[in-house]
């Protein structure tokens, strides 16, 4: 039968406990969500700084819509690039200490577009093993050599580049890794890049807003990152993404990036709201401090046999192993009113299925204590 691969594919996914479904969320903020009329504590939100629904961002969205429109009505290279975009780009350039910035409709397209543009036949792209799907898809979309180095293993990265005959090298890593919550050593990566005249590309989707005294992410650690990508859909609580880079890279992307050239520019209203969000991210450092405090509290409140992967971020991974165990544990926690995500392959390696807890600045100490109490009950015996 024509297209019977669809049936086969779905059946295999079900058998392997890898079947995915959407869930309808009736309401949510960075502390609670409502599903099927029931309220849960939300430990699955990327709204790390609790800025979604912020009245100042909503007001800026309305103002941006009034002044510049909800829709850009064109590609950035035709009539879609307007004052709201330019203003946001300037804010980002200053924040990130970069010459230029380009706005995209999502982090996925920003990563794909940029890596696709660099994946030329003369180039080798070296990605951390835990790199996001959008980075992999972009890197593999052309004719470059693509190789993944062991997670945060810069000795191996150095050896690999040493033995490579390619002329152009692009090193790619995330600032904070999305599924483990740990970070790259940006200075060590910059050193390897310098040794090989390589370009360094950092995906700061989960660091932006969270690390750095002004929430500027990896650029707070080093000025030697050539290209920084970060999305607006997580800590910044709007939508879209930026690439910050030098003049030269900017000119190249504007001329070759098909996602940029052949796509309607992001909503001007959202660009205006995002500039307001960045203003809040910079000035309200208490939000970052609260995440650090609550993360520490979670670690202290869990049983000794329950290990969280070490992290300096909002993301805390509780690795359980099998897909089934991760799914069952997430379901049981729902009965206690706790919503967190079970993460399974192919998002994480086989045998490392996990519960991914995200702590936001909207959580309260009592939420974290209750979470630890329930996790201790569901996953380990309470021996503290």
Ligand X SMILES: Cc1ncc(COP(=O)(O)O)c(C=O)c1O
Closest by CA to 128, choosing from 192, 184, 180, 167, is 184
In the complex, the smallest distance separating the C-beta of residue 131 from ligand X, rounded to whole angstroms, is: 8
Residue that the structure tokens 């002004």 belong to = 214
Could you tell me which stretch among 23-31, 200-208, 262-270, 344-352 binds ligand X (CB under 6 A)? 200-208
**Binding residue for ligand X (CB under 6 A) from 64, 107, 138, 212?**
107
Could you tell me which stretch among 74-82, 199-207, 244-252, 371-379 binds ligand X (CB under 6 A)? 199-207
Q: Does 241 bind ligand X (CB under 6 A)?
A: yes
Residue 174 bridge partners (DSSP): 203
Q: Do residues 93 and 286 make contact, with C-beta atoms less than 8 angstroms apart? A: no
Task: Evaluate the CA torsion angle 369, 370, 373, 374 in order and state its sign.
Answer: negative
Q: Which is nearer to ligand X, 132 or 199 (CB)?
A: 132
Q: Does 106 bind ligand X (CB under 6 A)?
A: yes
Q: Does 233 bind ligand X (CB under 6 A)?
A: yes
Residues 6+ apart with CB under 8 A from 34: 25, 26, 27, 28, 40
Alpha-carbon gap, residue 274 to 63, rounded angstroms: 12
Per-residue x/- track, 269-308, ligand X (CB under 6 A): ----------------------------------------
Q: Does 89 bind ligand X (CB under 6 A)?
A: no
Q: Which residues are catalytic?
A: 46, 132, 174, 178, 203, 206, 234
Per-residue x/- track, 156-195, ligand X (CB under 6 A): ------------------x---x-----------------
Give the number of other Cβ atoms within 10 Å of residue 251's Cβ: 12
Q: Which is nearer to ligand X, 106 or 353 (CB)?
A: 106
Q: Does 260 bind ligand X (CB under 6 A)?
A: no
CA atoms within 13 A on the CB side of 167: 4
**Binding residue for ligand X (CB under 6 A) from 203, 226, 284, 367?**
203
Q: Which is nearer to ligand X, 132 or 354 (CB)?
A: 132
End-to-end CA distance of the chain: 59
Under rule CB under 6 A, which residues in 120-139 are in contact with ligand X? 132, 134
Give the number of other Cβ atoms within 10 Å of residue 74's Cβ: 13
Task: Evaluate the CA torsion angle 269, 271, 272, 274 in order and state its sign.
Answer: positive
Residue that the structure tokens 């009245």 belong to = 55
Binding residues vs ligand X (CB under 6 A)? 106-108, 111, 132, 134, 174, 178, 203, 205-206, 231, 233, 241
């Amino acid at each position: 039968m024509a297209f019977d691969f669809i049936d086969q594919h779905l059946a295999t996914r079900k058998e392997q406990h890898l079947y995915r479904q959407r869930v309808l969320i009736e309401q949510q903020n960075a502390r609670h969500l409502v599903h099927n009329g029931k309220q849960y504590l939300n430990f699955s939100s990327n709204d790390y700084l609790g800025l979604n629904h912020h009245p100042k961002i909503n007001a800026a969205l309305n103002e941006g819509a009034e002044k510049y429109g909800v829709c850009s009505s064109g590609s950035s290279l035709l009539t879609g690039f307007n004052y709201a975009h330019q203003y946001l780009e300037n804010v980002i350039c200053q924040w990130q200490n970069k010459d230029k910035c380009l706005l995209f409709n999502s982090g996925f397209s920003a990563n794909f577009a940029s890596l696709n543009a660099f994946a030329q036949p003369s180039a080798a792209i070296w990605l951390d093993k835990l790199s996001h799907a959008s980075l992999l898809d972009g890197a593999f979309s052309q004719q470059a050599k693509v190789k993944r180095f062991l997670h945060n293993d810069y000795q191996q990265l150095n050896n690999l580049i040493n033995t490579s005959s390619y002329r152009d090298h692009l090193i790619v890593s995330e600032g904070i890794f999305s599924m483990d919550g740990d970070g790259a050593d940006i200075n060590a990566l910059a050193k390897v890049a310098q040794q090989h005249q390589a370009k360094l590309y950092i995906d700061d989707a989960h660091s932006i807003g969270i690390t750095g005294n002004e929430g500027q992410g990896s650029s707070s650690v080093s000025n030697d990152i050539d290209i920084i990508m970060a999305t607006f859909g997580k800590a910044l609580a709007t939508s879209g993404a930026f690439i910050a880079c030098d003049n030269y890279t900017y000119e190249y992307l504007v001329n070759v990036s098909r996602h940029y050239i052949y796509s309607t520019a992001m909503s001007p209203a959202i660009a205006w709201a995002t500039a307001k969000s960045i203003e809040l991210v910079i000035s309200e450092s208490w939000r970052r401090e609260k995440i650090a405090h609550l993360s520490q509290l979670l670690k202290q409140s869990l049983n000794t046999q329950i290990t969280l992967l070490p992290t300096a971020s909002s993301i805390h991974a509780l690795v359980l192993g099998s897909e089934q165990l991760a799914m069952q544990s997430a379901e049981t926690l729902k009965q206690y009113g706790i919503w967190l995500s079970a993460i399974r392959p192919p998002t994480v390696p086989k045998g490392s299925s996990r519960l991914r807890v995200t702590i936001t600045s909207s959580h309260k100490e009592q939420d974290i204590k209750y979470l630890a109490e329930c996790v201790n009950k569901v996953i380990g015996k309470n021996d503290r």
